[in-house]
Amino acid sequence: MRRAGVPGGAPRSTDTQRDRHIPVLLSEVVESLAAADSQLIIDGTFGAGGYTRAILASANCRVLAFDRDITAVRAADAMLAEFPARLKIVNQPFSRMEAFARAAETEGGADLESGPFVDGVVLDIGVSSMQLDQAERGFSFQTDGPLDMRMSVAVDPLTGDAVDAGESAADFVNTASEEAIANVIYTFGEEHKSRSIARAIVRARTEKPFTRTLELADIVLRVFHGRKIDGRHPATRTFQALRIYVNDELGELATALHAAERILKPGGRLVVVTFHSLEDRIVKKFFSSRSGKESRGSRHLPEQLIKSEQPSFQIFNARPLTPSKGECEVNPRARSARLRAAIRTDAEPWPLDLNDLAVPQPEV
């Protein structure tokens, strides 16, 4: 596996990039959270800070924000200076929010027990506009860059040392079997030509290992004979699949939902914005099962445990909120966004079961 660059070498997001970032469904997120004075809100996906700033403006509350991308955290100095007593940012993935939120609150002087202590959680799932717009991150096939796609923590938050950020997209396509590549592209990209694409990748890498985004995009383009699919570049689904796989995005999502369930107080709100069907299915299933709207019979849990579980959430928007036509015209990336939200009850949190939440797990 490749090693992450040294801390000083990580690219910083520029002010221009942050200005270009437009938070999706911003007013709907703030309204759904309904933050009040003195409350603690967790923004699990800080990014450019759009949600965090709006939440802090909506009430005299505190925000504890998370982002696994060190560049997002490093670009937040101005906002941290603006809200020194009300904002803290942690360079960790949102799946680890429970442990790090408890640690941050305890360090700040709070006397926490093992129970819930958070009033609201918001999660904006997927790759950020800033990451897409940075060619050096390797997320986009529109511009050439290193075939990377990793969002992971690249610097240890305690020591500042470079750490292994995990397998990159290049690592995977250059070493995985043809079957494994096909499984990932089919499962996470819902790409019906996954086997043809995997075959072309394996054939091409024998001549030269993949290192650049446009090299991979060109191979996929050849499989489709240069034709667009429903108006989209034919590499769209392949790049989506590799990004989801490299960052374990769906596993992270399921774990984060469970973490939010554990730390939210009764009456606390969980707000989730998704951008494609794989994410939305998991969130929908989580809320449906946790609210008692869906019968549950997992073969992975004892029957008596299933029967004893009481609804841990109450859904308050029966249908997901979607962007207005005007928002989509201003920000085309908002077109597929869906907002689902629910209120925490006083029931015990349910156990985490990836199979019950139908989290796809391809054989690799």
Identify the pLDDT of residue 153. Answer: 52
Rounded CA-CA distance 217/239 in Å is: 8
Residue 117 DSSP label: -
Pair of tokens at residue 259: 């973490």
Q: Would you state the pLDDT for residue 158?
A: 47
Q: Which residue stretches of the chain have pLDDT < 70?
A: 1-21, 127-140, 153-165, 230-231, 295-308
Structure tokens at 14: 């520029």
User: Which of 209-243 are b and which e, b meaning 16 or more Cβ less than 10 Å from the residue's Cβ?
Assistant: ebeebbbbbebbbebeeeeeeeeebbbbbbbbbbb
Q: Can you give the pLDDT at residue 72?
A: 84
Domains with residue ranges and CATH for the chain: 7-129+249-344 (3.40.50.150), 141-150+164-246 (1.10.150.170)
pLDDT of residue 17: 44
pLDDT in tens, 75-131: 899 999 999 999 999 989 999 999 999 888 888 777 777 779 999 999 999 765 555
CB 18 within 8 A of CB 75: yes
Sequence-ordered list of residues with C-beta below 8 angstroms from that of 133, at least 6 positions apart, any chain: 17, 20, 140
Per-residue pLDDT, 90: 92
| Distance of alpha carbon 147 from alpha carbon 140, whole angstroms | 9
- pLDDT per residue over 7-27, tens digit each? 233 333 344 444 456 789 999
> Which are the contacts of 135, defined by CB distance < 8 A and separation ≥ 6?
143, 144, 145, 213
pLDDT at 298: 52
> How is 304-323 classified by DSSP, letter by letter?
HHHHH----EEES-SS-B--
- A 10 A CB-CB count for 147 gives 26
CA dihedral 112, 113, 116, 120 (to 10 degrees): 0
For residue 357, the number of C-alpha atoms closer than 13 Å in the C-beta half-sphere is 25
Contact 173, 195 (CB under 8 A): no
Best CA proximity match to 88, nearest among 117, 112, 65, 118: 65
